Amino acid sequence: MAKFLAELLGCTLPDKGAPFEVRCSSVLLCQSSDVLTISDRCSSVVQRRKGSGFIIPSLWQPEDNMPQTPPFTGQLNTGGYNKNLYQTKEENYPGLYYHDNNLVSGSLEALIHHLVPTVDYYPDRTYIFTFLLSSRLFIHPYELMSRVCHLCMEQQRLSDPQADKMRVRKNAPKILQLLTEWTETFPYDFRDERMMRSLKELTHRLASGDEVYRKAVGQMSQGLIRRLTVLSQYEEALVKINATAAERLSALKAKPQAAAQRDLLSICNDPFTVAQQLTHIELERLSYIGPEEFVQAFVQKDPLDNDKSCFSDHKKASNLEAYVEWFNRLSYLVATEICMPVKKKQRARVMEFFIDVARECFNIGNFNSLMAIISGMNMSPVSRLKKTWSKVKTAKFDILEHQMDPSSNFYNYRTSLRGATQRSITANSSREKIVIPFFSLLIKDIYFLNEGCVNRRQNGHINFEKFWELAKQVSEFMTWKKVECPFEKDRKILQYLLTAPVFSEDALYLASYESEGPENHMEKDRWKSLRSNLLSRV
């Protein structure tokens, strides 16, 4: 793929240097029957208990921090320009409407013009991120790139060999900066061949005749190719690990007695170490989620677009879905580990172990693994094991459940999340920077924001106030996902967490009934049915 992309961009990859490092040792696996789909999220484990409705925070000010990339101006020595110039005069931008100097709405055409730099103007980076994130609701990224390229060439007369070189020299760094913002923050857009062709056309015109710009274009192109190559390698590794996990599941079905021979405690009995390895998996999964996936997960056809197939070839939110699947896998793995042991004493020991792992996850700031463990321990096949629970010291578990209590719109969790975020901002060590949100709730917040606010106003203009808020939520996630995990990897533990067979819901119930017999007629009927189905398969 790297060679193909390089050919499209008309550049070459360096022959020397270290190979790309792919952090794919912890790719997830989850059985399809146990996976939450995008449409399931709003009825997932988040609604395990009844609580208040979700509250959409008040709109933020666009001047807040957003993802940014270093400007080219320092490299190119073209003289300074105001990189964050935020033009708010309506008369200079017909079709854009402001309130208190903040952009609140505009036509798609005007918003596209507002994105394109000129000799004396560069768009605010907050606007760049917000528009590139949300524009895909109204126009394909490749179509937007084509429009941007056309406007750049039209304004700078790049198609004219006799164009004023001084004019081109003044604006070229700004155009390159915009393209860099795009390729670094939304690299997955450029998996589309049409995007790459438009990018090549524009950068070729910018670079022609000037060695400095040619070098900058080469660096940008090679950086993009590296990012896309790493993504491809990650996806290939994902397929391999899924295949390994499937083989182990088949082996377990062939020899069920093997399940009792190996469990997580036999590999590692230190809760802190297991919590660290879970954090490795979480941060690696987060790092592959593109910001655009939050929009594409809920994308619907724009009512003003006559093209019925407008979004038919959108890249699926595959990395986002994979992360939700990881949450499900971990929940089922916890339940499996608890239900597997035959002896009550061993089951109680496993329960207490996972309570300690959950507590360590909370201390680290890994709220997603924390909630997955709590979810697994609250599954019916586990919660019904009353004799086992009677042997467990549950005080710590009660505290953790209280922290993740859904009541009052997850007030306790949101308070803890704010504390972890503040700690991350003032952190002196990489460990203190870790913030891993309860992901299903983040998705649900974004879902309700999307459903609760219209994309367009009555006059047909795009409701940009909504997208300021969307960008704010996504940009916070972008900060969290960039944190490098400071803990040492333990390959054995990672391998087990990611590929150990997990029981289906029926298998969990059957194991639970075998450990502690049915207590009522409903449970007895279910037990008989499960045993009958199992015997018929054998």
pLDDT digits (tens, 9 = 90+) for 144-164: 999 999 998 887 665 555 555
In sequence order, the β-bridge partners of residue 450 are none
Q: What is the pLDDT of residue 278?
A: 99
| 55 has pLDDT over 60 | no
- H-helix or E-strand containing 242? helix 211-254
Which pLDDT value is given to residue 419?
96
Most confident of 51-60, 233-242, 452-461, 486-495: 486-495
Q: Which residue has the tokens 């109680």?
A: 348
Predicted pLDDT at 171: 81
Q: Residue 273 burial (CB < 10 Å; 0-12/13-18/19+)? A: middle
**Helices 125-134 and 108-115 meet at what angle, rounded to 10?**
140
CA distance readout (Å), 491 to 64, 259, 499: 40, 20, 12
Q: Residue 14: which pLDDT band, with cuts at 50, 70 and 90?
A: very low
Mean pLDDT along residues 495-511: 92
Nearest CA to 54 out of 455, 316, 537, 444 is that of: 444
Per-residue confidence (pLDDT) for residue 238, from 0 to 100:
77
pLDDT score, position 34: 36
Return the residue matching tokens 């606010």. 453
First CA to last CA across the chain, in angstroms?
Answer: 45
pLDDT category of residue 245 using cuts at 50, 70 and 90: confident
Confidence of residue 241 (pLDDT cuts 50, 70, 90): confident
Determine which helix (DSSP H) or strand (DSSP E) holds 127, and give its type and residue range.
helix 125-134
Burial class (CB in 10 A: 0-12, 13-18, 19+), 286: buried
* Choice among 134-143, 267-276, 293-302 with the minimum mean pLDDT: 293-302
Residues near 16 by beta carbon (within 8 Å), at least 6 away in sequence:
none
Q: Rounded mean pLDDT of 44-58?
A: 35
The pLDDT score that the predictor gives to residue 318 is 85
So what's the pLDDT on residue 38?
Answer: 31
- How deeply is 526 buried, as exposed, middle or buried, from its count of CB atoms within 10 A (0-12, 13-18, 19+)? middle
Res. 39 pLDDT band, cuts 50 70 90: very low
* Confidence (pTM): 0.81
CA gap 341, 347 in Å, rounded: 6
Percentage, residues of the chain above pLDDT 90: 57
Q: Starting from the edge strand earliest in sequence, which strands make up the sheet with 102-106, in order? A: 96-99, 102-106, 462-463
Question: For helices 464-481 and 439-452, what crossing angle results, to 10°?
Answer: 170
- In 331-472, beta strands by DSSP E: 462-463
Let me know: does 34 contact 505? Beta carbons within 8 Å.
yes
In this structure, of 6-20, 238-252, 415-429, the range with the lowest mean pLDDT score is 6-20
Q: How confident is the model at residue 167, as a pLDDT?
A: 64
- The pLDDT of residue 411: 97
Q: In this predicted model, which residue has the larger pLDDT, 216 or 31?
A: 216
Domains, the chain, with CATH or none: 30-48+264-304+314-502 (1.10.840.10), 72-257 (1.20.870), 504-538 (no CATH)
Cβ atoms 329, 34 nearer than 8 A? yes
State pLDDT tens for residues 161-182: 555 566 667 788 899 999 999 9
**pLDDT at residue 275 tops 80:** yes
Type and span of the H or E element at 105 = strand 102-106
Across the range 296-315, mean pLDDT stands at 54
What is the tens place of the pLDDT at every residue in 102-138? 899 999 999 999 999 988 899 999 999 999 999 999 9
CB count in 10 Å sphere of residue 322: 19
Phi, psi (degrees; rounded to nearest 5) at 522:
-60, -45
Dist CA 379 CA 393 (whole Å):
18
pLDDT at position 154: 81
Cα 395 vs. chain centroid, distance in angstroms? 33
Distance of alpha carbon 122 from alpha carbon 262, whole angstroms: 60
Q: Measured between alpha carbons, how far is 62 from 99 in angstroms, rounded to an integer?
A: 12
Residues 6+ apart with CB under 8 A from 144: 112, 132, 135, 136
Does pLDDT of 312 surpass 80?
Answer: no
> pLDDT class for 538, splitting at 50, 70, 90?
low
Average of per-residue pLDDT values in the chain: 81
Mean pLDDT calculated for residue range 342-362: 97
Q: Per the structure block, which two tokens stand in for 514?
A: 């075998």
